[in-house]
């Protein structure tokens, strides 16, 4: 491990310098990694490991769109692609990457496939942390671990192909073999993690649910809508309102933050922008702080988990989700966004 100073606090992290891909391959050479679920994280992790020389199979329900996607991605039915339970039976590392609701519904079948010395791998601490709601209680004879990439499956794959990787947290919840830590880090390196930092299942899910509902998705979408609507209310055109709210952020400013930090982005903007941003930053922070307090408590008490499981287990869930996403997609703001994106230079007709 490497000791890195994060803002005055030292943390142990694992990079490819300490744990090389060659070491990961050696650690996993006798494993069959069964990736269960080919939805959000499954494709990226499975293909990255396959490209890195790991023995990988995929478990997915036949006759589904995700089964067809797996076939299109080069997984061969009967050789590297199987129904979920069969893949679990064949694997020694079972990557349980079904949705959280799917993990609850399939657990009684999957637990029966776990042999002594297997590893049960998650990319989210949800099912184990909220075991009273999910029923997911791993048996004592298997390793239980987590590697949680800090990004969507799409980003995990894109960054891997670009050679950059994506950061991930890792945790060992149960070490039945004495090798759980080494296996877990090897899997993190094999899926292409940029660096790995330690966590626990509980800490991962608390931070993840807060982040998704907060700044990463919920808060971001909400404040964008608020600013766009305020500009439109005062007569600004959809193009102007969208460019000042979303396009400049995603195509310019957030990239500067990613490159070298918030101060770097400020330093590369006008003095007028700097002064206004610095004056208003704390007002926004103080205004939303109580909302984040409420959000974290809702996560910590399990309320968010119960809401998620109930909603995502409903037979009409996907139809309801599409209706909610359609409402966003067809709103004036995001219709303006579609028009703006079409006008980016890379989309101009040659």
* Catalytic site positions: 124
The SS3 assignment for 125 reads coil
Burial class (CB in 10 A: 0-12, 13-18, 19+), 269: middle
Burial class (CB in 10 A: 0-12, 13-18, 19+), 270: exposed
* HEC-encoded secondary structure of 193-258: EEEEEECCHHHHHHHHHHHHHCCCCHHHHHHHHHHHHHHHHCCCCHHHHHHHHHHHHHHHHHHHHH
CA–CA separation, 108 and 247 (whole Å): 46
Length of the chain (residues): 350
Q: Which of 55, 305, 65, 347 is nearest to 186 (CA)?
A: 55
Identify whether the C-beta of residue 124 lies closer than 8 Å to the C-beta of residue 150: no
* Ramachandran bin of 45, using left for φ above 0, alpha for ψ from -120 to 50, beta for the remaining angles: alpha
């Amino acid at each position: 491990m490497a000791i890195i100073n994060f803002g005055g606090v030292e943390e142990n992290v694992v990079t490819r310098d300490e744990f090389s891909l060659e070491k990961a391959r050696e650690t996993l050479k006798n494993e069959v990694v069964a990736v269960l679920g080919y939805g959000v994280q499954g494709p990226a992790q499975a293909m990255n490991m396959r490209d890195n020389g790991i023995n990988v199979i995929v478990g997915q329900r036949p006759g589904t769109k995700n089964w067809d996607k797996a076939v299109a991605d080069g997984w061969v039915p009967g050789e590297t692609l199987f129904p979920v339970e069969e893949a679990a039976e064949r694997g020694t590392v079972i990557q349980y990457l079904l949705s959280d609701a799917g993990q609850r519904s399939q657990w009684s079948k999957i637990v029966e496939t776990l042999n002594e010395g297997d590893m049960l791998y998650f990319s989210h601490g949800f099912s184990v942390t909220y075991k009273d709601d999910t029923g997911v209680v791993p048996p004592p004879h298997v390793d239980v671990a987590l590697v949680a990439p800090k990004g969507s499956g799409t980003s995990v794959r894109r960054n891997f192909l670009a050679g950059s990787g994506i950061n991930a947290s890792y945790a060992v919840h149960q070490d039945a073999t004495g090798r759980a830590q080494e296996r877990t880090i090897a899997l993190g390196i094999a899926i292409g993690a940029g660096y790995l930092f330690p966590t626990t299942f509980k800490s991962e899910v608390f931070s993840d649910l807060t982040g998704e509902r907060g700044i990463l998705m919920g808060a971001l979408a909400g404040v964008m809508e608020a600013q766009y609507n305020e500009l439109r209310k005062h007569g600004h055109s959809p193009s102007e309102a969208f460019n000042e709210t979303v396009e400049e952020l995603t195509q310019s400013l957030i990239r500067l933050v990613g490159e070298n930090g918030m101060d770097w982005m400020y330093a590369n903007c006008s003095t007028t922008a700097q002064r206004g941003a610095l004056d208003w930053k704390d007002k926004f922070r103080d205004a939303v702080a109580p909302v984040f307090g409420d959000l974290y408590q809702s996560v910590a008490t399990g309320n968010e988990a119960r809401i998620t499981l109930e909603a995502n287990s409903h037979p009409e869930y996907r139809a309801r989700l599409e209706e909610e996403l359609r409402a966003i997609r067809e709103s004036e703001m995001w219709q303006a966004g579609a028009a703006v994106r079409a006008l980016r230079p890379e989309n101009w007709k040659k």
